[in-house]
Amino acid sequence: MLRSLHMKLVMIMVLLILSLMTVVGAFLINSVVAFYLNDFYTQIGTVVGDRDLYRDLTQETAAELAGEVSGVEMLDQVLGAFAGELGVNGSNRNYYILDESGAYLAGTDDEYGPKLEYTENLLAVIQDRGVVGDKSNVAADYMDVAIPVDRGDGQYIIYIRDNRDTVDELNNQLFILIMQALVFGLVISVLLSFLLSKTMVTPIQRLTHGAERVAGGDFSDKLDVTSRDEIGVLTNTFNDMAGQLRDTLQQVENERNKLDTLFLHMTDGVVAFSSEGEVIHSNPAAADMLHTAIDEHTRYQDLFEDIASLDSVLAAPDYLEGEREEGERYLELLLAPFDRENQAGALVVIHDVTAQRKNEEMRREFVANVSHELRTPLTNIRSYAETLSENAGAMPPNTEKKFLGVILNESDRMTHIVQDLLTLSRFDSGHSELKLGRFSFTGAINDLYNAVYMEAQKHDHTVELKLEPGLPEIVADRERILQVMMNIVSNAIKYTPNGGHIVISAGRTAQQVWMEVADNGIGIPKEDRGRIFERFYRVDKARSRESGGTGLGLSIAKEIIDRHQGVITTVDKEEPGLTIRMELKIEGPGHG
Cβ proximity to ligand ADP: between 121 and 544 the closer is 544
* Cα–Cα distance for residue pair 224/232, rounded to 1 Å: 9
Whether omega before 397 lies within 30 degrees of 0, making that bond cis, reads: no
On whether the CB atoms of residues 124 and 146 are closer than 8 A, the answer is: yes
Between 133 and 523, CB nearer to ligand ADP: 523
Residue 436: CB atoms within 10 Å: 16
Footprint of ligand ADP on 570-589 (CB under 6 A): 578
Closest CB 316 distance from ligand ADP, rounded Å: 50
Question: CB of residue 546 vs ligand ADP: minimum separation in angstroms?
Answer: 10
In the complex, minimum distance from the CB of residue 460 to ligand ADP, in angstroms, rounded to a whole number: 16
CA distance 118 to 122: 6
Length of the chain: 592
Nearest approach, Cβ of residue 343 and ligand ADP (Å): 58
**Identity of the residue, 283 or 544, whose beta carbon is nearer to ligand ADP in the bound complex:** 544
- Closest listed residue to residue 492, CA positions, set 514, 464, 512: 464
Using the minimum distance from each CB to ligand ADP, give the nearer residue, 258 or 531: 531
| Binding positions for ligand ADP, 456-495, rule CB under 6 A | 487, 491-492, 495
Residue among 283 and 555 whose Cβ is closer to ligand ADP: 555
Backbone phi, then psi, for 96, in 5-degree steps? -130, 135
Q: Which stretch binds ligand ADP (CB under 6 A): 207-215, 253-261, 373-381, 518-526?
A: 518-526
Q: How far apart are CA 194 and CA 439, in angstroms?
A: 98
Minimum CB separation of residue 463 from ligand ADP in Å reads: 13
According to DSSP, the residues that pair with 438 across neighbouring strands are: 475
Touching ligand ADP, residues 488-517 (CB under 6 A):
491-492, 495
Q: Which is nearer to ligand ADP, 112 or 537 (CB)?
A: 537
Of 241 and 571, the one with the shorter C-beta distance to ligand ADP is: 571
Give 60 or 575: the residue with its C-beta nearer to ligand ADP.
Answer: 575
Find the shortest distance in angstroms from Cβ 538 to ligand ADP: 3
Encoded one letter per residue, x for contact with ligand ADP by CB under 6 A and - for no contact, window 529-558 reads ---x----xxxx---x----xxxxxxx---
Q: Judged by CB under 6 A, which of 20, 374, 522, 567 binds ligand ADP?
A: 522
Residues 6+ apart with CB under 8 A from 236: 225
Q: How far is the CB of 487 from ligand ADP (least distance, A)?
A: 6
Question: Considering only residues 161-200, where is the footprint of ligand ADP by CB under 6 A?
Answer: none
Rounded Cα distance, 132 and 157, in Å: 10
- Here the contacts of 64-71 (C-beta below 8 Å, separation 24 or greater) are 64/152, 64/153, 65/152, 70/153, 71/151, 71/152, 71/153, 71/154, 71/156
The nearest distance, CB 490 to ligand ADP, in angstroms, is 8
Nearer to ligand ADP, 85 or 528 (CB): 528
In angstroms, give the least distance from the CB of 543 to ligand ADP: 7
Which helix (H) or strand (E) element contains residue 567?
strand 567-570
In the bound state with ligand ADP, the residue whose beta carbon lies nearer, of 108 and 570, is 570
Among 148, 57, 158, smallest CA distance to 107 is for 158
Q: DSSP assignment, residue 460?
A: T
For 268, other C-beta atoms within 10 Å of its C-beta total 15
Measure the CA–CA gap between 39 and 19, rounded to whole angstroms.
Answer: 30
Rounded to 10 degrees, the C-alpha dihedral 581/585/586/588 comes to -130
If one asks whether residue 521 binds ligand ADP (CB under 6 A), the answer comes out as yes
Please, what is the minimum distance in Å from the beta carbon of residue 544 to ligand ADP?
Answer: 4
- The answer to whether 49 and 55 are in contact (CB under 8 A) is no
DSSP secondary structure code for residue 223 in this structure: P
CA-to-CA dists, residue 330 to 182, 285, 323, angstroms: 93, 14, 7
Residue 145 vs 554, nearer CB to ligand ADP: 554
Angle between helices 397-428 and 354-390 (to 10 degrees): 160
Residue 451 CA: distances (Å) to CA of 448, 457, 486: 5, 11, 8
Least distance (Å) from ligand ADP to the CB of residue 522? 5
If the CB atoms of residues 519 and 583 are measured against ligand ADP, the closer one turns out to be: 519
Minimum CB distance to ligand ADP, residue 516 (Å): 12
Min dist CB 579 to ligand ADP, Å, is 8
Report the residue closest to ligand ADP, judged by CB: 549
CB nearer to ligand ADP: pick between 231 and 524 = 524
How many residues of this chain interact with ligand ADP, rule: CB under 6 A? 23
Min dist CB 452 to ligand ADP, Å, is 13
Among 373, 519, 559, 583, binds ligand ADP (CB under 6 A): 519
Q: Of 298 and 550, which has the nearer Cβ to ligand ADP?
A: 550
The closest of 98, 117, 119 to 107, measured between CA atoms, is 98
CA terminus-to-terminus distance, the chain: 79
> Which three-class secondary structure state does DSSP give residue 175?
helix
Instruction: Give the SS3 label for residue 4.
Output: coil
Cα–chain center distance at 397: 93
523 binds ligand ADP (CB under 6 A): yes
Coil/strand/helix, residue 332: strand
- Minimum CB distance to ligand ADP, residue 523 (Å): 6
Helix (H) or strand (E) holding 340: strand 329-340
281 or 581: CB nearest ligand ADP: 581
Residue 229 CB contacts under 8 Å (≥ 6 apart), including other chains: none
Which residues of the shown chain bind ligand ADP in the complex (CB under 6 A)? Answer: 487, 491-492, 495, 519, 521-524, 532, 537-540, 544, 549-555, 578
